Amino acid sequence: EDAANAEDVVRIGEIRAHHAINRRVFYLIKWEGYDSDHNTWEPENNVMDYSELDAYWGKHGGIRARDRAVKRVSVAGPSQHEAAMRRKEVQTRRSKPGQAN
C-alpha cells in the first residue's frame, strides 16, 4: 500500500447503530480521531474492517441478528431511506470526515 492510499483510509472508532433498507445494511460510524459531528451512515460494503463488524454484531445478537434485521425490512424507496436518516438526526455525508463537500 502506498502512502497516498494510506492517507485516504480513515479508521473506524466505533459502529454505533445499524439500519437496513432494501435488504442492505447501513452502519452509523464514529470515525477514529473525529468528533461525533463527523459520524456518517455507511453501507456495509464500505466497512473494510470485518473485526469491527464482528464486534458490533457480537454485542447485538450475532450474525443471526444481522440476518433477521435484513429480512424483516420491507422494500423501501430512496425517499424512505432519506426520511429514516433524518429521523435519526444524522446527516449522511459522502466525503470522508473533515473534507469539504
Compute the distance between CA of residue 90 and CA of residue 93 in angstroms, rounded to an integer. 9
d(CA 85, CA 76): 13
Residue 97: phi and psi, rounded to 5, are: -55, 140
Given this model, what pLDDT does residue 1 score? Answer: 47
Contact 40/17 with Cβ under 8 angstroms? Answer: no
- The pLDDT tens digits for 62-89 are 878 888 877 765 444 445 555 555 555 4
Q: Which residues contact 81 (CB under 8 A, 6 or more apart)?
A: 21, 22
Task: Cell numbers for 20, please give them.
Answer: 437496513
In tens, the pLDDT along 6-65 reads 567 789 999 999 988 888 899 999 999 999 999 999 999 999 888 999 999 999 888 788
